[in-house]
Amino acid sequence: MKRDYYEILGIAKTASSDEIKKAYRKLALKYHPDRNQGDKDSEERFKEAAEAYGVLGDPDKRKIYDIYGHEGLAGAGFSGFTRQEDIFSTFNDLFQDLFGFSSGPRPQGRGFGPEHGSDLRYDLTISFEEAARGTQKEIEIIRLETCNKCNGAGMEPGSHPVTCPVCRGKGQVIRAEGFFRIATACPNCKGQGFIIDNPCKICGGQGRNRERHRVSVRIPAGADAGARLKLRGEGEAGLRGGQRGDLYIVLDVEPHNFFERVENDIYCQVTVSMAQAALGDEIDVTTLDGPHKLKIHAGTQPGETLRLKGLGVPDLRSGKPGDQIIEVKVMIPSRLTERQKELLTEFASIEKEKDESGLFKKFFKRFEEHEHSEKKGKMI
């Protein structure tokens, strides 16, 4: 009967990979045949230590051994070290890890071990305000979850994997074509080296089932279209105890009917009357935080921009907000009463006397052109 691998290395079952390596290195150097020539007991100890390290030093084999013991390893195609090459290959592996070289190839692992779960992607559309100020969303995804009955093993409880009879646990078959020998994945076990002859009745031997799952997603303030949020461990469950994948949230932001975003600044337009632009005024302007007072200074020109500090979008890294930049549009009335025309004509005359190059000379010229084009349109 084989001895317990942990007992051979003199370590606890909770030992880390570094502790396993250290214990094996100590025994391998102590019982190496070159240091104990002719000592059969030392040779046996050296072989035992190599085999123990070959299992416990391999996460996949260790997982099987911890759950199923020596029988589980045998079922997965590992029956221990019987060749000198296997024993000294393990010793070479140790030297490769320590010094970066090896005197022989590493043995290939079997497929019966933990397998990382797949990552998932979810496209999430949010509003302009939600992207700018942040929000919390709850989404529903469909993902593969570990089967509750077989705990991901894919077999009925109490069953063990069986060595594939076609490839005899190697995971590959070799066929000859002329002078060439081509190795391909075994079609019977799909390269795993083992088969399950008593699959779980719930998952059908897959080890996982598709289930609906709700996930809470925090959208940080300042997020923009195209941003990717990574939710660790919210992807699909791994196989045979493998690590769960991640979930990537890809954001799309709906356009706004008033604001436009450029980096961390937001732009908008407000329209004022000729009198407000000329005389100045204080108006309410829409911001992301609600109405805000904006001072229109006397003599504001069409197309002039005003800035509200700190009312833009916060920077994702620093948190410092951008600004809200407002372009002023001056509304020229399309129809005037006779009294309004008289007043504007009188005003233009005064401006002409005061300053031939003044603002209102230019403005009145634009006004006359507007009136002329309107009359021309009516004539047509």
Tokens of 89: 């290959």
Low-confidence ranges of the chain (pLDDT < 50): 85, 87-88, 92, 95-111, 178-179, 357, 375-380
| Cα gap 277→331, rounded to integer Å | 9
Tokens of 302: 């069409």
First CA to last CA across the chain, in angstroms?
A: 109
- Give the model's pLDDT for residue 353: 67
- Give the model's pLDDT for residue 361: 54
- Give the model's pLDDT for residue 247: 92
Q: Are 111 and 192 in contact (CB under 8 A)?
A: yes
Question: Among candidates 115, 303, 301, which has minimal Cα distance to 192?
Answer: 115
- Give the model's pLDDT for residue 10: 94
Q: Are 331 and 273 in contact (CB under 8 A)?
A: yes
Give buried/exposed letters for 84-94 (b at 16+ CB in 10 A, else e). eeebbbbbbbb
